Amino acid sequence: MAEAHGLIIMLLIFLEKLSHSKVLLADANVTCIIPDDCLLPCSFRPVGTVVIHWYKQQTPVHSYYYNKDQFGHQNKHFSGRTCLFNSHIPQGNASLLLRRVKVQDKGRYKCYTSTRKGNQEMFVNLEVKAVIQSVIMEMTEETVTCSSYNIYPVPQVTWATDPPSAQEALENSTIKTTDHKGLFNVESTLRILGNLSNYTYYCSFIAADKTQVWIASWKNQEGIIQEEGLALSIPCIALDSSQNFSLTWTFTSSTEPTVILRYDTKTRHSFNLWEGQAELDQDLLLLGDGSLLLLKPDIEEHSGTYTCTHSGLQSRHIIQTKVNITVASIIVDDRSVQRSWWSTAASVAFFLFTITLALPQCARQKALKTRRASQRYNGAGFVEDGLHKHLNTTARYIIGPHGDECNGTQIKFEAQDELAGCTPNTAEDETEALPEATEEEQEENPVGPLVEGNDGQPSCSVEREEFENIEPVHTS
């Protein structure tokens, strides 16, 4: 009996010591996103009151005892950034909430708990990372550059083209720097291969843990030339099949880039600065075709560079197109017709002006010819100096009986085609010799007898004869 009682006492002592021994648990691994809040897990077996201490290596992070938080020994790096779930401590929850995680928070943390039943230690390995938020892609005539900022740890950068190029042709220069927060800024530059519009350039930023790949691409399309007033479609086809994406169209002319249209497939929100001038096809847009339709492009307003940006969850694809709006050919024809009409009108006006000035002169020349012709004919039909101009006219006249002088002789000439011209005759034309009259013509044109007037002077007879085509008569 004595031996049995001794064994029982020894067992109780062992159990008591065991209850007050330190318990070690397996490490927990946690990865937190910068600058989000992070939870470091810790639990214990609640028995009465408890003492909790959190350490990062030997640095005090947070303490709790006497049923309240104790900040007297907390390191200033964690000041205002830690807390426990006090209402859950009686249930055995000693987890620590670390707010606004930083690169410097990375490391191994210890959770120490103590109750009247014993002590416990639990370790948490904290990893931090700053995800790739976006990749900015820029292109010049010689290089294409991809940049990303505030990343941790440093990512890997790769390049590719479509159509594919040999890797040795894709040698790039990548620069990695850190800021005061310990985050990485990465910039990678690749030299343009051949003609700028022959390739689509891709750059990929791969996270250090391989859990994230961010892809950006850029393509310069062949320029488009279109006549003003004719509808024009500027292509923009998505390079991935993502259903949730946003589409942005930017226009650049002589001023800064202007966002003219934006559409988000997830929220269905849209913005159109060029309402009535540009639009998207909603049905094709859901299939990844974000082509921009210019309804009536104008030379001054719509000539420039159009940039289509297709943004997905982990991607951004840029397609750039230069558009040149030209004068429509039909407008050129109309202007030519207008210029021709004005030229014709000016010619007609000049012609009428010339005629207006010329008609009085023609009339004066006609009158002068008529006087000269009448002065050359005497009463007997003789021509001065024996010469006469062939007039081809019809003359009506009455000659008195003597034929030497005829006061009051009435001669009337009716001008025909030869007098229609207005060109002045020269002196030689006026003295041109006229052909002789034949005997038959003389018989047909007799000289009537003279009749004396009341005053005893010879006078012209009232008898009238008509002569056509008077020919000249030579006197002996």
How many other C-beta atoms can be found within 10 angstroms of the C-beta atom of residue 379? 21
Does residue 357 sit within a domain?
no
Say whether 143 sits in a helix, a strand or coil: strand
Which tens digits make up the pLDDT trace of 254-302? 888 999 999 998 888 999 999 999 999 988 888 889 999 999 999 989 9
Does residue 349 sit within a domain?
no
Predicted structure pTM score: 0.63
DSSP type of residue 208: T
Residue 201's closest CA among 174, 219, 215, 214? Answer: 219
Whether residues 51 and 74 fall in one domain? yes
End-to-end CA, the chain: 204
Does residue 476 sit within a domain?
no
Whether residues 30 and 124 fall in one domain? yes
Indicate the residue among 220, 247, 268 that finishes a domain: 220
Altogether, the residues listed in the chain come to a count of 476
Whether residues 157 and 250 fall in one domain? no
CATH code at 157?
2.60.40.10
Whether residues 213 and 272 fall in one domain? no
Question: How far is Cα 355 from Cα 363, in angstroms, rounded to an integer?
Answer: 12
**Can you say whether residue 469 is alpha, beta or left, with left for phi > 0 and alpha for psi between -120 and 50 degrees?**
left
Please tell me the predicted confidence (pLDDT) of residue 375. Answer: 59
**How many domains is the chain partitioned into structurally?**
4
In the numeric block, the tokens 């892809």 are attached to 215
Does residue 117 sit within a domain?
yes
Whether residues 110 and 148 fall in one domain? no
Indicate the residue among 220, 243, 271 that finishes a domain: 220
Please tell me the predicted confidence (pLDDT) of residue 181. Answer: 94
Does residue 5 sit within a domain?
no
Mean pLDDT to the nearest integer, 219-246? 88
Which tens digits make up the pLDDT trace of 80-126? 999 999 999 999 999 999 999 999 999 999 999 999 989 999 999 99
Please tell me the predicted confidence (pLDDT) of residue 260. Answer: 96
Does residue 398 sit within a domain?
yes
Does residue 275 sit within a domain?
yes
Does residue 173 sit within a domain?
yes
Mean pLDDT, the chain, rounded, equals: 77
Whether residues 201 and 281 fall in one domain? no
Whether residues 36 and 98 fall in one domain? yes
Whether residues 114 and 172 fall in one domain? no
Q: What angle do CA 110, 114, 118 make, to 5 degrees?
A: 115
Which tens digits make up the pLDDT trace of 37-49? 999 999 999 998 9
Enclosing domain of residue 273: 224-326
Whether residues 199 and 161 fall in one domain? yes
Give the pair of three-digit tokens for residue 38. Answer: 């992070």
Whether residues 215 and 234 fall in one domain? no
Give every CB contact of residue 162 below 8 A, 6+ residues apart in sequence. Answer: 199, 200, 202
